[in-house]
Amino acid sequence: MRAKGSELGIDPERIALFGASAGGFLAATAGIAFAGRPELEVDAVVDWCGPVDFTTMDADMEASGVPRLWTRNDAPDSAESALVGVTVADHPEAARAVSPLAHLARVPQGAKVPPFLIMHGDRDPVVAKAQSERLRDALAASPATSRVELVILENTDHGDGAFDEPGAIERVIAFLRASMPRGAAQ
């Protein structure tokens, strides 16, 4: 996108990743994994209710007190096991290796992780909010992180209508405007 910005009709100096649920996992992972790689790095990441550690998802869900909507995340037929390519419960090291947290530990010295806005519902029955809290805490503890914000939406399910409310959208827009490189077109 940076190399072909004019061809694609985008500003190559202002690229953000935005995803919800599995897309949030992918946006967070890519945003961190690309840090220090000028041809790939992005300017900001917005993660809505994405998982960050497949090995702790079930324990986090049980600790939340929110009734689970789907099957266990470490089960052989779970989406997480399908993504990793092996059963999460049987191969936790493989599951941890794909985590954005694992990528954070591998950010090159001197590289900067882009600013992160993480939003999560407090009643999420698919991905417990502890997953987003874990990502926020890891980013905040990393010297590579410039800025991280976590917003917990009250009385909110997994990516439900509260994410589409004007206040939530305005929060994302304000974050993206504040995170884009200075001097780039607004």
Asked whether residue 180 is domain-assigned, the answer is: no
Task: Judge whether 170 lies within some domain.
Answer: no
Q: Which helix (H) or strand (E) element contains residue 152?
A: strand 148-153
**pLDDT recorded at residue 182:** 66
Boundaries of domain holding 131: 13-155
Across the beta sheet with 16-20, what order do the strands follow?
A: 16-20, 44-48, 116-121, 148-153
What pLDDT, on the 0 to 100 scale, is given for residue 23? 97
**Residue 159 has what pLDDT?**
87
With a threshold of 0.95, does the pTM exceed it?
no
Dihedral sign, Cα of residue 22, residue 143, residue 116, residue 35: negative
pLDDT value at residue 13: 87
Task: Evaluate whether residue 178 is within a structural domain.
Answer: no
Cα(54)–Cα(12) distance, rounded to whole angstroms? 33
Looking at the structure of the chain, the number of domains it has is 1
Q: Does residue 113 fall inside a structural domain?
A: yes
Segments in the chain below pLDDT 70: 182-186
